[in-house]
Amino acid sequence: GAGVSQSPSNKVTEKGKDVELRCDPISGHTALYWYRQSLGQGLEFLIYFQGNSAPDKSGLPSDRFSAERTGGSVSTLTIQRTQQEDSAVYLCASSEDRDQPQHFGDGTRLSIL
Amino acid sequence: DQQVKQNSPSLSVQEGRISILNCDYTNSMFDYFLWYKKYPAEGPTFLISISSIKDKNEDGRFTVFLNKSAKHLSLHIVPSQPGDSAVYFCASRSGGGADGLTFGKGTHLIIQP
């Protein structure tokens, strides 16, 4: 079956613009996660969804970041008024439930000019 | 404050020999540990995991060892193959806390012919 799918694979935008990143999890996976990886760093956890709800949003870097998940499937991560420090690879992962290993998509490489 | 540390940014091993990748953690609440492998421009791929109730888990050429008293885990790959050349990330999860994984910064394993 298909793995985690993320789009776009690459996004270049100007500082101050809004961007929306999309994640299609593996079918049937109830848990969905967003991470980002800045240059030379490990993965930084952003937010977790169980079904459509995100119990803890404190991992989001600022209030310019928001995420939603509808229908227990697709999720979008939105960054408003992008800044250069938002440049990173944004990775989505899903798992059958929180006690199972997470499976990652190939990420969206975001570059803010 | 890094809770998961991979102190070797890179490791070079001859093909056919054993590769040993190390990881240290500081958070005593971590109860589940995973290793991921990552190729350039791809998302991390799950390799093997271990629960804190065990001290060893084996899957083919991959074995993970957990030493809870030392807060240390290691991944052994034997025999090492050219396709094992990649960046390896150690990750941990806290049973009572956030639902995302905490990652180390990775070790770049290079298998030499």
Q: Express each pLDDT in A13-56 by its tens digit.
A: 999 999 999 999 999 999 999 999 998 788 999 999 988 888 78
Kindly determine whether residue B106 and residue A105, on different chains, have CB atoms separated by under 8 Å: no
Kindly determine whether residue A42 and residue B106, on different chains, have CB atoms separated by under 8 Å: yes
Give the count of beta carbons closer than 10 Å to the beta carbon of residue B12: 11
Per-residue pLDDT at A84:
95
Kindly determine whether residue A106 and residue B41, on different chains, have CB atoms separated by under 8 Å: yes
Residues 6+ apart with CB under 8 A from B88: B6, B21, B35, B36, B37, B38, B47, B75, B106, B107, B108, B109
Looking at the predicted structure, is the pLDDT value of residue A1 above 60?
no
Kindly determine whether residue B46 and residue A4, on different chains, have CB atoms separated by under 8 Å: no
Per-residue pLDDT at B16:
97
Q: Which of A44, A50, A104 sits opposite B43 (nearest CB)?
A: A104
Looking at the predicted structure, is the pLDDT value of residue B1 above 90?
no
Interface size, chain A vs chain B, as Cβ–Cβ contacts under 8 Å: 59
Helix (H, G, I), strand (E, B) or coil at B96: coil
- Decide: residue B94, CB within 10 A, 0-12 exposed, 13-18 middle, 19+ buried: middle
Which chain A residues are Cβ-neighbours of B49 within 8 angstroms?
A: 101
Per-residue pLDDT at B96:
61
